[in-house]
């Protein structure tokens, strides 16, 4: 009989516990609507917490494991102890990583900041930060971002300052974009003196790093080349323009000497559209005649080889400014009685991808 009464009491107690959980629990509140400051948790752990490391890192992935009484909080950028109190330490080893407090320069910024970096040797550093996503929603985790996102940046000691560099800064190869100004001229075209033609060029290339600061550079670019001169025909004055819409290929060898790079190489252009244009002079902003003549039968489709010389120097992080001159080495006309050559001068920027 006593055993039966004890079982009834146990069942009643279990029923009330379940009822209180159902009626007073906050199902989903902690996940979806918890606005507590999650990066200020205090952990009162014992000295031996190896069994709790996995759980600790899973719930707070912006912490490193507790080693010798300290850990790195990558969200606050602080070294803290087991209770979460900030420790004034400028250098500490946490496992295989050496955390050092240094002054560094983020990319594109002229002002420095101070924080913890991981010293990986050879004057190279890593910085690991954690960012909490404001739009994180665990009920929509299939389409939303992660709760905590990791941000890793790379730094190197350059000219006495720790500066941010790209992850692929010292890879054997990388791509780059080009944008600049080109001034082209026709030499000895039909024995006529053509003026320089101005245009814009766009390009995409790749650099292969070799030994002793020597690089091989190859790139494609688009530009309009040619020249112009004013004419008078039948009491009509206008502008005669020779146009090459070209896709160029350039192969260069570049040598870096301190802050300046010198390069030289060869270039060839494929002229996918060649034309002669006669445009009458403007009168109050209007032209009264535009005449186009195809040059398919007079000029070669492949504008022959030219020699390129130039220099470049660093303008900003990942951006170089370059100046180059291309000298035509062979003629561009199929008419042997004429020996026109195409020369050009370029100045522009390259952006490392």
- Asked whether the predicted pLDDT for residue 50 surpasses 60, the reply is no
Mean pLDDT (whole number) for 61-82: 78
Q: Do both 339 and 193 map to the same domain?
A: yes
Spatial separation of the C-alpha atoms in residues 264 and 254, rounded to whole Å: 7
DSSP letter for 85, please. Answer: -
Residues 250 and 111 in one domain: no
Whether residues 73 and 93 fall in one domain: yes
Per-residue pLDDT band for 5 (boundaries 50, 70, 90) equals low
Percent of the chain with pLDDT strictly greater than 90: 18
Q: What are the pLDDT digits (tens) for 208-254?
A: 888 878 999 999 999 988 888 887 776 677 888 888 889 999 999 99
* Residue 342: CB atoms within 10 Å: 28
Q: Single out the residue in 165, 198, 218 at which a domain terminates.
A: 165
Q: For residue 191, which of 342, 343, 299, 340 has the smallest C-alpha distance?
A: 340
- Asked if 194 and 336 sit in the same domain, the reply is yes
What is the pTM for the complete model shown?
A: 0.63
Q: Which residues of 246-270 are buried (b: 16+ CB within 10 A; e: fewer)?
A: bebebebebebeeeebebebebbbe
Residue 353 to residues 234, 247, 286, 287: CA-CA distances in angstroms?
54, 21, 43, 43
Q: What is the mean pLDDT of the chain?
A: 76
CA pair distance 337, 4, nearest whole angstrom: 122
3-state SS class at 51: helix
* Pairwise CA distance, residues 248 & 237, whole Å: 34
CATH number of the domain within which 242 lies: 2.40.160.20
Q: How confident is the model at residue 340 (pLDDT cuts 50, 70, 90)?
A: confident
89-147: pLDDT as tens digits? 888 888 778 898 989 988 878 888 898 998 888 888 988 887 666 666 656 655 555 55
What range does the domain containing 91 cover? 37-165
User: Which range (149-153, 160-164, 343-347) has the least confidence?
Assistant: 149-153
Question: What confidence tens digit (pLDDT) does each residue in 254-273 have?
Answer: 998 888 999 999 999 888 88
Q: Half-sphere exposure of 271 toward its Cβ, with a 13 Å CA cutoff?
A: 24
Domain-ending residue, one of 136, 165, 194: 165
User: Among residues 137, 165, 193, which one ends one of the domains?
Assistant: 165
Count the helix, strand and coil residues of the chain and give each as a percent rounded to the nearest 5: 10, 55, 30
């Amino acid at each position: 009989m006593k055993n039966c009464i004890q079982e009834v009491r146990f069942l009643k107690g279990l029923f009330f516990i379940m009822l209180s959980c159902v009626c007073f629990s906050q199902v989903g509140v902690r996940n979806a609507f918890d606005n507590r400051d999650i990066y200020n948790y205090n952990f009162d752990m014992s000295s031996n917490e190896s069994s709790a490391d996995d759980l600790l890192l899973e719930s707070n992935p912006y912490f490193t494991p507790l080693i010798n009484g300290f850990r790195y909080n990558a969200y606050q950028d602080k070294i803290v102890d087991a209770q979460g109190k900030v420790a004034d330490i400028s250098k500490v080893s946490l496992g295989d990583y050496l955390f050092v407090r240094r002054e560094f320069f983020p990319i594109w910024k002229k002002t420095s900041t101070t924080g913890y970096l991981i010293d990986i040797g050879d004057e190279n550093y890593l910085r690991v930060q954690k960012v909490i996503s404001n739009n994180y929603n665990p009920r929509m985790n299939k389409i939303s971002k992660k709760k905590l996102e990791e941000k890793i940046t790379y730094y190197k000691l350059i000219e006495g300052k720790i500066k941010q560099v790209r992850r692929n800064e010292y890879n054997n190869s990388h791509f780059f974009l080009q944008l600049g100004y080109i001034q082209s001229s026709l030499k000895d075209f039909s024995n006529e003196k053509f003026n320089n033609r101005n245009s814009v060029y766009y390009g995409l290339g790749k650099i292969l790093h070799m030994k002793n600061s020597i690089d091989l550079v190859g790139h494609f670019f688009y530009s309009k080349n040619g020249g112009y001169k004013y004419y008078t025909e039948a009491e009509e004055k206008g502008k005669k323009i020779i146009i090459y819409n070209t896709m160029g290929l350039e192969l260069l060898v570049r040598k870096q000497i301190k802050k300046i790079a010198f390069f030289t190489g060869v270039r060839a252009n494929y002229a996918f559209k060649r034309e002669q244009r006669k445009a009458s002079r403007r009168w109050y902003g209007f032209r009264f005649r535009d005449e186009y003549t195809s040059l398919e039968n007079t000029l070669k489709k492949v504008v022959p080889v030219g020699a390129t010389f130039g220099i470049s120097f660093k303008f900003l992080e990942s951006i170089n400014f370059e100046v180059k001159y291309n000298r035509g080495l062979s003629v561009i006309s199929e008419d042997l009685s004429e020996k026109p050559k195409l020369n050009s001068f370029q100045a522009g920027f390259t952006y490392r991808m």
